[in-house]
């Protein structure tokens, strides 16, 4: 018996206009465990019409910020009520241990919804002094208006949490949305939309159309009533989306990948740095945009550090994440398994030393062994490309300047970590590293009040914090003539 998932459009479950479906595969057993509607251009048009109608005089457009905030707070309570179910849905869809989303993704999502409940009533304009108008004084002020209908295109690695980052902010701003979940993980977005209905959001404010990127995703980018595309995923898809949406002058926010450095100085607290680097490499099987996959270590401690990190890799219990004591499940899908193994082989071929793990044989389930390379150079593929799997590459440095140069020698710029007990040095390195977020003695801290996003190939725009909500608004200026 498999789950039978449909779109959620204008408050109702709907199958695809042509009745077609797509299968969802369990990465542990490789069995089909669910099917979902395979969305069409017509499905997207219906969902966008529902979302657009709510902005053009529908009940949603009449609500004040405070009223939107109350709905968001109610949604936060409902997500909290169903948090174990939501965490388990996301975990089993990609073979992740359910403990990770229970401890990290769900608390973060709930906090985001609660924070956004407050932002909804705080999106203020300004009064701006001007030189007047042909000799008469004027009063000029700005208001923040919702951008419009948002097309939210989602990845599979932390589906609910990343969907909520977008949803919380755009609802606070007064927008409506059509969510296109990843083809691998539509369940939690559908459950979230049903919870929003239970919270009292008017039908049509939140719609979910399941399906493939080149069908549903593309149709959203091309639809004239979608004002903004908010995308999280790979640089390849991001480039394509920007090309399509850019021609129509849509607003585009892109949260893309990373190859984030973890700089371990000789004066770091050794055990903390090893633990933090292991977390940054192996959480969610390394399928994390902020994965700290380039470990830059001072040469004086490099050998000891590499040995300790290899021990940490070897001690990870890999298996069926539904069983007690298992810390790491398979990677999410076949393509990911092949990609990760291809990079491990490339690392070996290009001359890096394999300290732990290695190319994995396929039996049943897409399991990859945690892998550590040392004696690597920063120009190797394993140091430059986002592998999106549990693979770490250790590179040594002798001076702080070298560490910074290595950290910045990347096409990505999402996150970075500095491990040191010298706080002056920590701030100096944090200032010099080109990245959207830097953790000092902590890998990838996330908080509902902190903006998140990257530079260079890691993307355009920020989510999170009040700046995340402001990104879903347009600033309108109004000037009134005040004749004497």
Residue 411 interacts with ligand NAD (CB under 6 A): yes or no: no
Residue 183 annotated as catalytic: no
Q: Which of 154, 344, 438, 446 binds ligand NAD (CB under 6 A)?
A: 154
Residue 180 interacts with ligand NAD (CB under 6 A): yes or no: yes
Residue 214 interacts with ligand NAD (CB under 6 A): yes or no: yes
Of 215, 255, 386, 463, catalytic: 255
From residue 142, give the alpha-carbon distance in Å to each of 176, 407, 476, 477. 22, 41, 5, 4
Nearer to ligand NAD among residue 343 and residue 388 (C-beta): 388
Q: Which stretch binds ligand NAD (CB under 6 A): 12-20, 217-225, 263-271, 362-370?
A: 217-225
Residue 412 interacts with ligand NAD (CB under 6 A): yes or no: no
3-state secondary structure of 421: coil
Q: Which stretch binds ligand NAD (CB under 6 A): 20-28, 188-196, 254-262, 426-434?
A: 254-262
* Contact indicator for 203, 177 with CB cutoff of 8 Å: no
**Sign of the CA dihedral running 454, 455, 461, 464:** positive
Supply the Cα-derived Rg of the chain in whole angstroms: 23
Distance CA 220, CA 152 (A): 9
Residue 152 interacts with ligand NAD (CB under 6 A): yes or no: no
Residue 162 interacts with ligand NAD (CB under 6 A): yes or no: yes
Q: Which stretch binds ligand NAD (CB under 6 A): 19-27, 39-47, 150-158, 390-398?
A: 150-158
Distance CA 245, CA 240 (A): 9
Distance CA 309, CA 416 (A): 18
Minimum CB distance to ligand NAD, residue 392 (Å): 16
Residue 292: other Cβ atoms inside 10 A: 28
Within 419-458, the residues that bind ligand NAD by CB under 6 A are: 454
Distance CA 96, CA 228 (A): 31
Q: Which of 40, 157, 260, 457 binds ligand NAD (CB under 6 A)?
A: 157
Distance CA 159, CA 170 (A): 17
Q: Which of 289, 310, 312, 433 binds ligand NAD (CB under 6 A)?
A: 289
Minimum CB distance to ligand NAD, residue 186 (Å): 9
Nearer to ligand NAD among residue 203 and residue 255 (C-beta): 255
Residue 16 interacts with ligand NAD (CB under 6 A): yes or no: no
Number of shown-chain residues binding ligand NAD (CB under 6 A)? 31
Burial class (CB in 10 A: 0-12, 13-18, 19+), 229: buried
Q: Which stretch binds ligand NAD (CB under 6 A): 25-33, 64-72, 85-93, 213-221?
A: 213-221
Q: Which of 213, 321, 464, 468 binds ligand NAD (CB under 6 A)?
A: 213
Residue 388 interacts with ligand NAD (CB under 6 A): yes or no: yes
Q: Which of 256, 340, 356, 469 binds ligand NAD (CB under 6 A)?
A: 256
Residue 277 annotated as catalytic: no
Residue 237 interacts with ligand NAD (CB under 6 A): yes or no: yes
How many whole angstroms from its chain centre is CA 254? 10
Minimum CB distance to ligand NAD, residue 193 (Å): 16
For residue 162, how many C-alpha atoms fall within 13 Å in the half-sphere facing its CB?
27
Minimum CB distance to ligand NAD, residue 216 (Å): 7
How many whole angstroms from its chain centre is CA 107? 15
**Which region, left, alpha or beta, applies to residue 143 given φ > 0 means left and ψ of -120 to 50 means alpha?**
beta
- What does 238-303 look like in DSSP terms, one character per residue? HHHHHHHHHHTT-EEEEE-----EEEE-TTS-HHHHHHHHHHHHHGGGG--TT---EEEEEGGGHH
Q: Which stretch binds ligand NAD (CB under 6 A): 94-102, 120-128, 176-184, 442-450?
A: 176-184
- For 221, phi then psi, to 5°, come to -65, -30
Of 184, 289, 386, 463, catalytic: 289
3-state secondary structure of 307: helix
Residue 232 interacts with ligand NAD (CB under 6 A): yes or no: yes
Give the binding site for ligand NAD (CB under 6 A): 153-157, 162, 180, 182-183, 212-214, 217-218, 221, 232-234, 237, 240-241, 255-258, 289, 386, 388, 414, 454, 459
């Amino acid at each position: 018996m498999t789950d039978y998932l449909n779109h959620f459009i204008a408050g109702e479950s709907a199958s695809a206009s042509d009745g077609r479906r797509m299968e969802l595969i369990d990465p542990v057993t490789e069995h089909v465990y669910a099917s979902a509607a395979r969305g069409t251009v017509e499905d997207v048009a219906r969902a966008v019409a529902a979302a657009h109608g709510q902005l053009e005089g529908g009940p949603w457009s009449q609500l004040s910020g405070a009223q939107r905030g109350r709905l968001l707070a109610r949604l936060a309570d409902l997500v909290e009520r169903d948090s174990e179910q939501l965490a388990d849905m996301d975990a089993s869809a990609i073979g992740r241990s359910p403990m990770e989303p229970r401890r990290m993704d769900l608390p973060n999502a709930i906090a985001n919804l609660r924070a956004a409940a407050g932002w909804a009533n705080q999106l203020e304009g300004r009064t701006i002094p001007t030189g007047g108008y042909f000799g008469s004084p004027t009063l000029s002020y700005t208001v923040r208006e919702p951008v419009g209908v948002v097309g939210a295109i989602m990845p599979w690695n932390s589906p609910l949490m990343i969907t909520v980052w977008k949803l919380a902010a755009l609802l606070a701003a007064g927008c409506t949305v059509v969510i296109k979940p990843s083809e691998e993980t539509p369940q939690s977005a559908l459950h979230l939309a049903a919870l929003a209905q239970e919270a009292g959001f008017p039908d049509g404010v939140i719609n979910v159309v399941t399906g493939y990127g080149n069908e549903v995703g593309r149709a959203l980018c091309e639809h004239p009533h979608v004002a903004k595309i908010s995308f999280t995923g790979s640089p390849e898809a991001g480039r394509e989306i920007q090309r399509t949406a850019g021609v129509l002058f849509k607003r585009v926010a892109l949260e893309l990948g990373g190859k984030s450095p973890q700089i371990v100085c000789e004066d770091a607290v050794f055990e903390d740095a090893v633990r933090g680097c292991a977390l940054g490499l192996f959480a969610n099987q390394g399928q994390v945009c902020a994965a700290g996959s380039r470990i830059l270590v001072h040469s004086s401690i490099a050998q000891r550090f590499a040995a300790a990190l290899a021990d940490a890799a070897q001690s990870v219990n890999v298996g069926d994440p539904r069983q007690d004591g298992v810390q790491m499940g398979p990677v999410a899908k076949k393509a990911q398994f092949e990609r990760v193994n291809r990079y491990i082989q490339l690392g070996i071929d290009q001359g890096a030393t394999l300290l732990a793990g290695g190319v994995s044989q396929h039996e049943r389930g897409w399991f990859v062994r945690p892998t550590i390379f040392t004696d690597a150079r920063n120009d190797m593929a394993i140091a430059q490309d986002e592998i999106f799997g549990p693979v770490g590459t250790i590179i040594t440095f002798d001076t702080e300047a070298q560490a910074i140069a290595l950290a910045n020698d990347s096409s990505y710029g999402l996150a970075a970590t500095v491990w040191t007990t010298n706080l002056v040095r920590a701030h100096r390195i944090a200032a010099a590293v080109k990245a959207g977020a830097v953790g000092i003695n902590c890998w990838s801290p996330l908080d509902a009040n902190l903006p998140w996003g990257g530079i260079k190939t890691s993307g355009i725009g920020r989510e999170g914090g009040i700046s995340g909500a402001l990104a879903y608004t347009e600033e309108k200026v109004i000037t009134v003539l005040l004749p004497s």
